[in-house]
């Protein structure tokens, strides 16, 4: 069965610092890949997605992610974090069965 691992439960960065959130997946083929963000008490908002093609994907709010097939990874990056980026971030895969499989999430705290 496919699985998604987000090894960092909680990350704290200073405002203006760069950010990288890690995501590894386990699946036989290359699934569709997503990053979602969830603010406290809110639903999930799609940041970006990878279906095929260019392995560097640009998303909303200045986020980008890079798909690395050899490492089965899809890490999320942002060059300069803003205080409003504090939220929980979920990586998800969709292997063609309509089901999204989510990681357990990484909670991001931003120090002013």
Partner 1 sequence: NAGVMQNPRHLVRRRGQEARLRCSPMKGHSHVYWYRQLPEEGLKFMVYLQKENIIDESGMPKERFSAEFPKEGPSILRIQQVVRGDSAAYFCASSPSGENYEQYFGPGTRLTVT
Binding site for partner 1 (CB under 8 A): 4, 32, 34, 36, 41-46, 49, 51, 90, 92, 94, 97-105
d(CA 92, CA 30): 13
CB of 10 or CB of 68, closer to partner 1: 10
Whole-number minimum distance, CB 92 to partner 1, in Å?
A: 8
Q: What SS3 class is residue 79?
A: coil
CB of 13 or CB of 100, closer to partner 1: 100
CB of 85 or CB of 103, closer to partner 1: 103
CB of 81 or CB of 92, closer to partner 1: 92
Torsion angle of the four alpha carbons 48, 72, 12, 81, in this order, in degrees rounded to the nearest 10: -30
Whole-number minimum distance, CB 105 to partner 1, in Å?
A: 5
Whole-number minimum distance, CB 84 to partner 1, in Å?
A: 18
CB neighbours of residue 88 within 10 Å: 17
φ and ψ of 71, to 5 deg: -105, 0
d(CA 96, CA 65): 21
Whole-number minimum distance, CB 93 to partner 1, in Å?
A: 10
């Amino acid at each position: 069965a496919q699985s998604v691992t987000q090894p960092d439960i909680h990350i704290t960065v200073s405002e203006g610092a760069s950010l990288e959130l890690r995501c590894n997946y386990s699946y036989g083929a290359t699934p569709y890949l997503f990053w979602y963000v969830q603010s406290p008490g809110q639903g999930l908002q799609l940041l970006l997605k990878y279906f095929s093609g260019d392995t560097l994907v640009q998303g909303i709010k200045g986020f980008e992610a890079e798909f690395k097939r050899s490492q089965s990874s899809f890490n999320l990056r942002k060059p300069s974090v803003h205080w409003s980026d504090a939220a929980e971030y979920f990586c998800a895969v969709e292997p063609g069965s309509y089901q999204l499989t989510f990681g357990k999430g990484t909670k991001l705290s931003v120090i002013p």
